[in-house]
Amino acid sequence: MKRFSEQNHYEILEIPRSATAAEIERAFRMAEAIYSEGSLAGYSVFGDGEAAAIRERVETAYRVLTHPESRSAYDAMLGGRESAPATESSGEPVEVIAATEDAADPASRPQRSAQPRDDLELEEEEPGEFDGGRLRRSRIHRGIEIEDIAGWTKINPTYLRFIEEDRYTDLPAPVYVRGFVTAYAEYVGLDAKQVAASYMESFENGTRRGRRGRFLGGR
Amino acid sequence: MKGPVPSPTAAARVIPVGGGKGGVGKSFVTANLAASLAQQGKRVVAIDGDLEGANLHTCLGVPKPRCSLADFVAHRRDDLEDLLLETPFPNLRLIAATHGNLGTPQPGHARRVRMVRAMRSLDADFVLLDLGAGTHSAVMDYFMVGDDGLVVISPEPTSVENAYSFLRAAFYRRLRLAMASHAMQEIVVLAMDQHNERGIRTPLDLLHEIEASDPEEGKRFVETMKAFRPRIVINEAYTAEDVKLGFAIQSVARKFFGIECDYIGYVNHDEKARQSVRDRRPLVESYPESDAAIYLNRIAKKIAAEPIRVG
């Protein structure tokens, strides 16, 4: 059981050493929320100046781990002894949110055995269609806000909302939507390929229906 | 899924439901989880442990309980089995807490120990124990009946503050019992005072203090920490931020107190939930298709699926 001052950057952010860019971002945003001034989860626990000091450590961890070069150097400094996520048996901090299974960079993809537990396990739905409603539920189950995704992906939050509301005809060209949905899924921690394929199928059908609807409506 | 399933073990699995603050929905959550487990075919007993503010019977549609836990406290009845009441729902029975003695509502320590033992021997798969507000010793003793009790929290500062106090109180109480030496027990008692002279603020501070004084007791401390695995439920979540609060509390409890909580789910704000309370029926019975009922059912399934923890 380590004190804050003894924790490394991964432990500070509660992520495994194999964390993807999306996982680091999510963990950072979570930590930012926890240690912000007046945070509901923390204000009654932190002593004077304590939250600010931790925030500084969180920001340093984020800065180091989000740049491939500084992360490599830091990993080299930590050495190989902690190359597996310190979660399974050691009682060390475990990751807060489910890992992304389809990371863009295969080298940074978490190992199956390193999957953190998803405590909520609220997504009971069987494999199948990923429509906007299901994406929204998955996001909320992980405590992620639209603005979190928009901040990382740089996608206009209005488009993210349109995706969740299945407002296909208000969305831009399919190539953009595929990119948006892939980035959304990566951030939320879903299988991006599966989600994009499923959503785009609905999108194609939806836009076709939408066009026909407008035509029949005399527009 | 319907129909009673034979109990895998003789001892009932007792799940206390606390949270520190009144009005966060402990009775609502207890009643619904009990009803949901019963719907899954488990044999369930719901016990109202709130002798000073009993209302679980109302949530379960039992308007006028003819006997209650107060009879056990007052030595009018010695067997908890005699206090079991049928509810309108199959597989689900109730021990109410009505008509308590306002002068001495809580049982003495010996009676409390006996009550906890009797709860474990009830003929049921699950016993859900709805606790009163606060961190009174009786409440904490009941919470200690299992390692993985539920802590119900609503997304409000008062509830979160009280939940932390509750978690700390539960942990310290458990720890004091785990320490073998009188000297270390005394340090635990000292640490329970937030303004203690040694500057021990959190269980983590206490661990370092104890490890420095007595490494063997330090090991016992760590074992106690590992075994204690309270589970968090966020009730009345309106937004994704409220859902996130569960993860945030989990993180703060881990980092500041060294307490590993499981965030097992949230129940969203739902008008149907209010309606079910007004109807004096569990939501999972009255409005099983409502979002809140679906989330409650998921939590219940998770509880049912978990193996019985040892240690």
Each residue's pLDDT expressed in tens, for chain A with a length of 219 residues: 677 778 899 999 999 999 999 999 999 999 998 998 889 998 888 877 888 888 999 999 999 999 999 999 999 999 865 443 333 333 333 232 222 233 333 333 233 232 333 444 545 555 678 899 999 988 988 888 899 899 889 999 999 999 999 999 999 999 999 999 999 999 998 989 999 999 999 898 887 766 554 444 333
Best of B255, B262, B306 to mutate (most A CBs within 10 Å, chain A): B255
Q: Which CATH number is A194's domain given?
A: 1.10.260.40
Q: In terms of CA atoms, which chain B residue is nearest residue A124?
A: B298
A49/chain B closest Cα distance in angstroms: 15
Burial class (CB in 10 A: 0-12, 13-18, 19+), B279: middle
Residues A82 and A154 occupy one common structural domain: no
Whether residues A143 and B246 touch (CB distance < 8 A) is answered with yes
pLDDT reported for residue A217: 39
Q: Does any domain span residue A29? A: yes
Question: pLDDT per residue over B133-144, tens digit each?
Answer: 877 777 888 888
Chain A neighbors of B160, CB-CB under 8 A: 40-41, 44
Whether residue A98 sits in one domain with residue A11: yes
User: CB-based contact (8 Å) between B228 and chain A?
Assistant: no
Residue that is last in its domain, among A51, A85, A102: A102
> A190 lies in a domain?
yes
Q: Is residue A118 part of a domain?
A: no
Residues of A in contact with B164 (CB under 8 A): 44-45
Tokens of B257: 């107190």
Instruction: State residue A123's pLDDT score.
Output: 52
Q: How far is B264 from chain A (nearest CA, A)?
A: 5
Question: Does residue A83 fall inside a structural domain?
Answer: yes
Together in a domain, A96 and A155: no
Please tell me the predicted confidence (pLDDT) of residue B177: 86
Predicted structure pTM score: 0.80
What is residue B229's three-state secondary structure? coil
Asked whether residue A122 is assigned to any structural domain, the reply reads no
Q: Which residues of A touch B222 (CB under 8 A)?
A: 1
Q: Same domain, yes or no, for A137 and A211?
A: yes
List C-alpha distances in Å: B304 to B16, B86, B130, B268.
14, 22, 18, 21
Query: How many angstroms separate the CA atoms of B149 and A7, rounded?
Result: 29
Chain B residues near residue A142 by CB distance under 8 angstroms: 243
| Domains of chain B listed by start with CATH number | 1-146+270-311 (3.40.50.300), 148-269 (no CATH)
Residues (pLDDT < 50) of chain B are 1-3, 5-8, 310-311
* A41 vs B: CB within 8 A: yes
Chain B residue nearest residue A140, CA to CA: B240
**Of A84, A102, A120, the domain-final residue:** A102
Residue B240: other Cβ atoms inside 10 A? 19
Closest CA to A197 of A150, A142, A131, A141: A131
Residue ranges making up the domain that contains A142: 132-216
Q: Which residues of A touch B223 (CB under 8 A)?
A: none
- For residues B102 and B56, the answer to whether their CB atoms sit within 8 Å is no
- Same domain for A162 and A72, yes or no, is no
Side chain identity at residue B165, one-letter code: S
Report the chain B residue with the minimal C-alpha distance to residue A136.
B240
pLDDT at B247: 92
Judged by CB atoms closer than 8 Å, whether chains meet at B155 and A40 is answered as yes
In a domain, A202, yes or no: yes
Give the minimum alpha-carbon distance from A30 to chain B in angstroms, rounded to a whole number: 7
> Are residues A92 and A9 part of one domain?
yes
Q: How many domains does chain A have?
A: 2
Q: Is A139 on the interface with B (CB under 8 A)?
A: yes
Q: Which residues pair with B139 in a beta bridge?
A: none
Q: What is the CATH number of the domain that holds A58?
A: 1.10.287.110
Query: Cβ contacts (< 8 Å) between B241 and chain A: which residues?
Result: 33, 143, 145
**Would A119 be classed as within a structural domain?**
no
A92 with A154, same domain: the answer is no
Chain B residues close to A144, C-beta within 8 Å: 240, 244
Q: Identify whether residues A27 and A98 lie together within a single domain.
A: yes
Whether B256 and A45 lie within 8 Å, measured CB to CB? yes
Both tokens of B241, joined, read: 């931020």
User: For residue A106, what pLDDT is reported?
Assistant: 31
Find the closest chain A residue to B194 by CA distance. A45
Q: What is the C-alpha to C-alpha distance for residues A44 and A68, in angstroms, rounded to an integer?
A: 36
Q: List C-alpha distances in Å: A205 to A112, A135, B32.
A: 35, 18, 40
For residue A121, being part of any structural domain is answered with no
**Are A8 and A97 contained in the same domain?**
yes
**Domain final position from A55, A86, A102:** A102
User: Cβ of A41 and B160 within 8 Å?
Assistant: yes
Residues B272 and B287: beta-carbon distance below 8 Å: yes
- Report the candidate in B211, B217, B227 with the shortest Cα–Cα distance to residue B260: B227
Alpha helices (runs of H) in chain A, residue ranges in sequence order: 9-13, 21-34, 50-66, 68-78, 132-141, 146-153, 157-164, 174-188, 192-216
Q: How far apart, in Å, are the Cα atoms of A76 and each of A16, A25, A82, B118?
A: 15, 21, 11, 57
Tell me the C-alpha distance between B167 and B256, whole Å: 12
